Amino acid sequence: MLNRIFGLETEYGLLIHEDRPNHSPTWFAHKIRDHLFQVQRRGVLDLHHRGHDEPPGNGGFLTNAGRIYLDMGHLEYASPECHSLTDVVASDRAGDLLLQQTLEELGFSEQVSLIKNNIDHETDATFGSHENYLVSRRFPFSRRGLAPLVTFLVTRQIFTGSGRVGSAALQDAWIQTDRLLIPRSALGAHHVSEPPFQISQRADYIVNDFFEWVQHNRAIVNTRDEPLADPNQYRRIHLLLGDSNMTEYATALKLGTTGLVLQLIEEGHAPQDLEIDEPVEALQEISQDQERRWLIQLQSHKTMSAVDIQERFLDCAVQHCKGQDEETDWVLTQWASVLHDLRGDYQKLVGRVDWASKLWLLECFREAEHADWTDPMLKSLDLEYHNLNPSKGLYYGLLEEGRVPRVTTDFLIHLAMETAPKNTRAYGRSELVRHLLHERHASVADPSPTPDGLFPPYVINWSIFQVRGHAPFPMPDPFKTYLEDVRTHLDSVIV
């Protein structure tokens, strides 16, 4: 994709198949992480504090330049920086496979399932799928400049949502209104009956249009300015409203269409006069609309459907982006195809769109068992759609039946488990991790702090690293591989 770096961060659920388990999901998460780093030696653990909630040994970078760590008890995988949709999809699936294979190697696959979803039906908790897009520092990062992005994000769930049974409880959070923070309950949100099925897992948990904090005040656009690159040149658009996708097609289309809309905004070509009157409410109303009409009230008092709005963005992208590269043209073609099919029978989308695939499976079960939407089995099947075990996951059943189009290949996924993309700075970081594993600068099995307060053997961050005895090595340009620079730098280190 043109001038774009992509990244995905995925938090995984752990489902224990025991009535009275001896261990918690967090215990299993620790075992998986430790086995991956200490036995399989897939990467190097951090030997320093990354934050108050990330002590030494909490996680580390992998040989593919991605990162695995624990976030509030959840296993989380962050892909390396990717410059193409093929790479980011392969890297995302590589994280799934790394964790699933580790679970199986530990002999836990009958006791525990890794679930790539965003909700816990029992506790009403949510865990995220975060998207990262590199943009120029000149990007109009203001309410007015971001208005087209908000409209696009609110409506894209019609093809990016993963679907869920039921809904979450009303989120008790603080809403930013002008310069004031007020409780959401003060806005007089009315109670609505629980929908049997909705198209997005995360929509119920988004309570702001713009906000900096990540937890409890999740926003459509996260405003934290943390570029993880040269701050004079770049900004990182960090999104946390999206669902974790099982289909490669939905992952690629989600990232590809969003990347093109960001390009339209950067170049001043985004469609205008589509500002939504109440974006958060619209996000949830679209998700919960059982008739799938997906109508939205705009600030202009005009009513439009989400499909019509998406077609406005598509038309602009075709006019200004078509022909710039092969991946762009693939996105434009598939964007048009999925919007066309959204106007008809949702079953045409099975295998491409997660919510449609899940709804079809659930309806097949309901018809076969004469079950209504209150049947507790539906929530179990909801989770099983996201099970990463190929022998159990319902998504993998569709894949085996040939109903799911592929965007990448098994060969590329296995390659992405070990190696980084060769056209971003991830390539240079991968060289560093391999060097540390080979040279054994520190025992990867012992993440304890160094004695006497000495600088640890190494510190690795996304845009800089330092090996003990040598100056810090910054990597501010995500488009540069830094491969030869890293090799030269490491060859000069005195151990």
Give 99's Cβ-side CA count (13 Å radius).
32
Would you state the pLDDT for residue 274?
97
Residue 343 banded pLDDT, cuts 50, 70, 90: very high
Angle between helices 410-418 and 85-105 (to 10 degrees): 80
Give 24's Cβ-side CA count (13 Å radius).
5
User: Is-contact 365 371, C-beta < 8 A?
Assistant: yes
Of these residues, 19, 34, 71, 87, which one is catalytic?
A: 71
**Residue in the block written with tokens 């039906």:** 121
Q: How many residues does the chain have?
A: 495
Summarize pLDDT for 379-416 with one digit per residue, the tens.
999 999 999 999 999 999 999 999 999 999 999 999 99
Alpha-carbon distance values, 173 to 64, 117, 182, 240 (Å): 38, 22, 8, 16
Summarize pLDDT for 259-286 with one digit per residue, the tens.
999 999 999 999 999 999 999 999 999 9
Residue 8 banded pLDDT, cuts 50, 70, 90: very high
Alpha-carbon distance values, 241 to 106, 205, 318 (Å): 33, 8, 26
One-letter amino acid at 268 equals: G
β-bridge partners, 44: 61
Is 289 catalytic? The answer is: no
Work out the number of other CB atoms within 10 angstroms of the CB of residue 320.
15
pLDDT at 51 over 90: no
User: Is-contact 456 450, C-beta < 8 A?
Assistant: yes
Would you state the pLDDT for residue 277?
95
Q: Which ranges of 82-133 does DSSP label H, i.e. alpha helix?
A: 85-105
| pTM metric for this prediction | 0.92
pLDDT at 257 over 70: yes
pLDDT at 436 over 90: yes
328 membership: H or E segment, kind and range: helix 326-342
User: Is-contact 242 229, C-beta < 8 A?
Assistant: no
**Per-position DSSP letters for 203-234, written without gaps between them:** GGG--EEEES--SSS-EEEE-----SS-TTTE
Name the residue among 113, 149, 141, 166 with its Cα closest to residue 274: 149
Summarize pLDDT for 454-470 with one digit per residue, the tens.
789 999 999 999 999 88
Would you state the pLDDT for residue 191?
47
Summarize pLDDT for 136-151 with one digit per residue, the tens.
999 999 999 999 999 9
Measured CA angle at 48 (ends 45, 50), to 5 deg? 95
